[in-house]
Amino acid sequence: MAVARLKFLDKNEEELIDRKSMECLETIGVKIKSENVLKMLDKAGAKVDYKTQVVKIPESMVREALKNAPKQMTLHARNTKNNLNIPVSSWPYTGTTGLGTYILDLKTGKKRDSTVKDIADCVKVADALEGVSYVQTSLTATEVPQLTHGLHELWTAFQNTSKHVQGVEIYDAADARKQIELGSLIAGGSEQLKKKAYFTVIHCSIAPLMFEHEAVEALVEFAKAGVAVTTMSMSLSGGTAPVTLAGTLLNANSENLASCVIGQTANKGARTIYCSSSTPINMNTGMIHYECANQPLIAAGLAQMAKRYGLPCMVGDWGLNDSEQPGLPHTFSETMGIALSTMTGTDMQGGIGTLDNAKGVSIEQQVIDAYVWENVRKQMTPFEISDETIALDVIKQVGHGNTFLSNMHTAKNFKREIIVRDPAKGRFEKTLSNAMAAEAREIALKILKEHVVEPLDKSIVQQGNDIIKNYEKQLLKK
């Protein structure tokens, strides 16, 4: 099938990044701040220096991990119609944003700390939006104990959507085990969770080339339980990676390969999603620079590397607003970069609803982003290029200088072949201001009032609440 894709690297450049990544892991290695994981990798054949905590991974070990990692998977949802099969055959599955710390109040428009109720509202609206394929937990639950806020966020998301859920906050191995317990309730048991990926988690390495103690031990727990781990590298050009685009690609690729090795060593066949949210830093401010032209090109290069290894990937970003107010503030060149990011060949991307470089969330922005994405993604509709669709026989029938309008071939195929954008949702694209925010707010309020999410069984909800409550009691005793 023909699908619009951005290709950035030629074959020789792909091979160079692959070869240098193997050299990086074998000669420089990665630092892993966990004795348990060091011992596991040592036993599997890596060269471990326990004093420096540096692991040097031979190429053979990396190739074996890539061989064992699943190349296809289904990300399951409570409602099977929302299951996601990856890799994708057309546009990427697009989800909400990650872990904002504030929200713009839907009624007052004022910025405030986010709560469990806000997470529930964001997820419920996302459940209703056609442009949202899966939900991340979106916001930080600031009113609950800090050590368990990730559990509250995950459990709130499970209860307010029948779509696939991606968790963002991982604290340590114990926290991971509790998240696995919650996921097992949704799946119908721990064995069912191993068979079906009812939720995914994002695990971040620390660029350059390091894995923190708590997070890497959590990665091992998720891998053993069958939870799909999205191995995000946040390599920042000029900050935590070489300032060259090529150097950033090398660093992010090496970290993803190291994550894959850890997961496959813990559990052969563990589900792994190659992931990056890499971009340069702003040399004037030192902050993350998502608006620069490099970001979609880095995503395109890493998507090619993921596809080279046959791994499902999440490297693109769909976020139309990095300001503090809902709307469409970008210039044409910035918007072009966002569009290119979706055409990298990525299977998944996040960002719907984000404000202020992912520090905040707006429910109005969720509506705006989802509506615009519904129209943009149509440009990645797959088209069949074959003897039949070439239609040489039809051209022969119609003849020179005549019309195809009355031909049966046109009547039979035009609805599938001619892709029409939704003009109602297209209104949101006709301004670079915030004029659409008021309409989006009304749509969001209507969804919150009228949309019904398929409920969890009350006994399941109570079991999940008890898991979190009892764990909080254990932490208090410590």
Within 10 Å of residue 317's Cβ, how many Cβ atoms? 25
> Does 200 map to a domain?
yes
Same domain? For 398 and 375 the reply is no
234, part of any domain: yes
Produce one character per residue of 418-450: b if its CB has 16 or more CB atoms within 10 Å, e if not: eeeeeeebeebbeeeebebbeebbebbbebeee
- Highest-confidence range of 4-18, 382-396, 425-439, 461-475, by mean pLDDT? 461-475
Is residue 418 scored above 80 in pLDDT? no
Beta carbons of 337 and 343 less than 8 angstroms apart? no
Q: What pLDDT score does 281 carry?
A: 84
- Give the total number of structural domains in the chain: 2
Average pLDDT over residues 2-25: 91
Confidence of residue 453 (pLDDT cuts 50, 70, 90): very high
Cα–Cα distance for residue pair 334/277, rounded to 1 Å: 17
Domain identity same for 369 and 308: yes
Q: What is the pLDDT of residues 97-147, one digit of tens each?
A: 888 899 999 999 999 999 999 999 999 999 999 999 999 999 999 999 999
340 and 397 housed in the same domain: no
Distance CA(379)–CA(345), nearest Å, equals: 13
Encoded tokens for 286: 């030192």
CATH code (residue 78)? 3.20.20.480
Centre a 10 Å sphere on the Cβ of residue 398 and count the other Cβ atoms it contains.
17
Are residues 156 and 259 both part of a single domain? yes
For the stretch 25-74, pLDDT in tens is 999 999 999 999 999 999 999 999 999 999 999 999 999 999 999 999 99
- Quote the distance between the C-alpha of residue 316 and its chain's center: 8
Same domain, 311 and 409: no
Residue 322 near residue 279 (C-beta atoms within 8 A): no
Positions of E strands within 67-143: 73-75, 84-86, 93-96, 102-104, 111-113, 134-136
* Residue 454, in any domain of the structure: no
| Residue predicted with more confidence, 264 or 281 | 264
Domain membership flag for residue 51: no
CA 125 to chain centre: 18
**3-class secondary-structure state, position 189:** coil
Domain-located, residue 432: no
Q: What is the pLDDT of residues 283-325, one digit of tens each?
A: 888 878 777 778 888 899 999 999 999 999 999 887 767 778 8
The answer to whether 29 and 23 are in contact (CB under 8 A) is no
Residue 139 placed within a domain: yes
What mean pLDDT value characterizes the chain? 91
Same domain, 288 and 392: no
Domain boundaries, position 391? 387-417
The closest of 118, 127, 222 to 170, measured between CA atoms, is 222
Task: Return the minimum-mean-pLDDT range out of 50-64, 152-166, 404-418.
Answer: 404-418
173 and 260 fall within a common domain: yes
Which residues are CB-neighbours of 97 under 8 A, at least 6 positions away? 136, 138, 319, 350, 351, 352, 353, 354, 358, 361
Tell me whether residue 338 is in a domain. yes
457 in a structural domain: no
Percent of the chain with pLDDT over 70: 99
Q: Are residues 401 and 362 in the same domain?
A: no
User: What does 418-439 look like in DSSP terms, one character per residue?
Assistant: S----HHHHGGGS-SSSTTHHH
The residues near 302 (Cβ < 8 Å, ≥ 6 apart) are: 249, 252, 253, 256, 274, 276, 278, 313, 315, 344
Statement to judge: residues 252 and 345 lie in one domain = yes
Spatial distance between the Cα atoms of 368 and 327, rounded to a whole number of angstroms: 7
Q: Are residues 399 and 343 in the same domain?
A: no
Q: What is the pLDDT of residue 321?
A: 74
Pairing of strands 210-211, 30-32: parallel
Q: Is the pLDDT of residue 1 over 70?
A: yes
Would you state the pLDDT for residue 430?
66
Q: Is residue 408 domain-shared with residue 356, that is, in the same domain?
A: no
From residue 54, how far is each of 48, 208, 233 by CA, in Å? Answer: 6, 13, 18
Which of 380, 399, 429 is the C-terminal boundary of a domain?
Answer: 380
- Three-class SS string for 24-84? HHHHHCEEECCHHHHHHHHHHCCEEECCCCEEECCHHHHHHHHHHCCCCEEECCCCHHHCE
- Give the CB-side neighbour count of residue 191, counting CA atoms within 13 A: 0
Contact in structure between 129 and 370 (CB atoms under 8 Å): yes
Query: CB–CB of 302/249 below 8 Å?
Result: yes
**pLDDT attached to residue 75:** 97
> Is residue 340 located within the same domain as residue 411?
no
